[in-house]
Amino acid sequence: MLSPAQLLTGYARGVFPMAESADDDRLYWFDPQLRGVLPVGGVHASRSLLRDLKKGGWSAHLDGDFSAVVAACADRGTTWINGELSALYDQLHASGHAHAIEVRYDGRFAGGIFGVTIGSAFFGESMVSARTNGSKLALLWTSNHLARCGFTLFDTQFLTPHLARMGGIEVPRAIYRQNLSRALRRKADFTAHPLLSDVQLWQAMTHTS
């Protein structure tokens, strides 16, 4: 069984663990040739997404219920998050190395994202949507928050079409590790600032777009 320290060491070396399924007790290290990353503070928002944000009713919450966000991310037909990983994430959260952003609409859970932090690197683990645009807005809030808190790397592990539409790209392993090395040498604090309100986020997005 991995320890939290071993897990952090793996991330710092550029690899990450996954299980084949929730029922699989084994963990496997992954080191893809191409790594997915999102621009810190530069995630793309479509016009329709910004219109939805402008309508109001949205809110974001930092570490309100970390375990619940992880559980929601794992609650799908096929998941790589098994019981051991869930427990490890809880331990990393307790030590300040894992965080979650939960998005709500009219007070109800709409989506969220969680990840691991080391230095100025944020390793996005998984996200979930319980309402249209829930996960997209979680990405917007996270990208903005990372920039405001001094982060320089937003790792997404793999690049999906969804992430590509929001500005994600793939970088070769060697380039990723160079960026990771620089990010690990810098300090950032995920809790340094509160999350913006939906109005503030919309203003920030429309001002820079």
DSSP string, 22-69: TT----EEE--SEEEEE-TT-----HHHHHHHHH--EEEEESSSHHHH
CATH number at residue 43: 3.40.630.70
> In the predicted model, what is the mean pLDDT of residues 80-90?
92
The H helix count followed by the E strand count for the chain is 8, 9
For residue 119 the two structure tokens come to: 């230095």
pLDDT confidence tier of residue 168, bands split at 50, 70 and 90: very high
| pLDDT tens readout for residues 119-145 | 999 999 999 999 999 999 999 999 999
Check residue 194 and report its DSSP letter.
P
pLDDT above 80: residue 62? yes
What is the distance between the alpha carbons of residues 62 and 87, in angstroms, rounded to a whole number? 19
Q: How confident is the model at residue 208 (pLDDT cuts 50, 70, 90)?
A: low
Look at residue 60 in the predicted model and tell me its pLDDT. 98
Type of residue found at 141: W
What's the pLDDT at 177? 98
Supply the pLDDT for residue 209: 45
Please choose, from the candidates 101, 108, 112, 107, the residue with its C-alpha nearest in 3D space to the C-alpha of residue 191: 101
Q: Residue 107: pLDDT band by 50, 70, 90 thresholds?
A: very high
Cα separation, 168 vs 181, in Å, equals 20
For 54, the domain range is 4-208
Alpha-carbon distance of 25 to 27, in angstroms, equals 7
Give pLDDT, residue 57.
97
C-alpha 171: how far from chain center: 18
pLDDT at 79: 86
Q: Is the pLDDT of residue 54 over 80?
A: yes
Count of structural domains within the chain: 1
Structure tokens at 129: 């949507």
